[in-house]
Chain A
Amino acid sequence: QQPVQSPQAVILREGEDAVINCSSSKALYSVHWYRQKHGEAPVFLMILLKGGEQKGHDKISASFNEKKQQSSLYLTASQLSYSGTYFCGTRGSGNTGKLIFGQGTTLQVKP
Chain B
Amino acid sequence: DGGITQSPKYLFRKEGQNVTLSCEQNLNHDAMYWYRQDPGQGLRLIYYSQIVNDFQKGDIAEGYSVSREKKESFPLTVTSAQKNPTAFYLCASSILIDLNTEAFFGQGTRLTVV
Contacts and interface: CB of A to CB of B under 8 A. Distances in A.
Nearest to A46: B102
Contacts of A2: 42, 44, 59
Nearest to B96: A97
B101 interface: yes
* Size bracket, chain A contacts: 20 to 34
Interface in A44-80: 44, 47, 49, 53, 55-56
A91 B99 CA distance: 9
Contacts of A104: 40, 42-43
A42 B90 contact: yes
B114 to A, nearest CB: 20
Contact of B100 (A1, A47, A87, A102): A47
Contact of B45 (A29, A47, A99, A103): A99
Nearest to A89: B103
B56 interface: yes
A53 B44 CA distance: 27
Given A95-B99, A97-B99, A99-B33, A87 B94 contact: no
B17 interface: no
* Size bracket, chain B contacts: 20 to 34
A32 B105 CA distance: 13
B64 interface: no
Contacts of A47: 100-102
B106 interface: yes
Interface of B: 30-31, 33, 35, 40-45, 48, 50, 56, 58-59, 90, 92, 94, 96, 99-108
22 contacts: A30-B99, A39-B108, A41-B90, A47-B102, A49-B100, A56-B102, A89-B43, A89-B103, A96-B50, A97-B48, A98-B48, A98-B56, A98-B58, A99-B33, A99-B103, A100-B45, A100-B59, A101-B35, A101-B42, A101-B43, A101-B45, A104-B43
Interface of A: 1-2, 5, 8, 29-30, 32, 34, 39-44, 47, 49, 53, 55-56, 87, 89, 91, 95-104
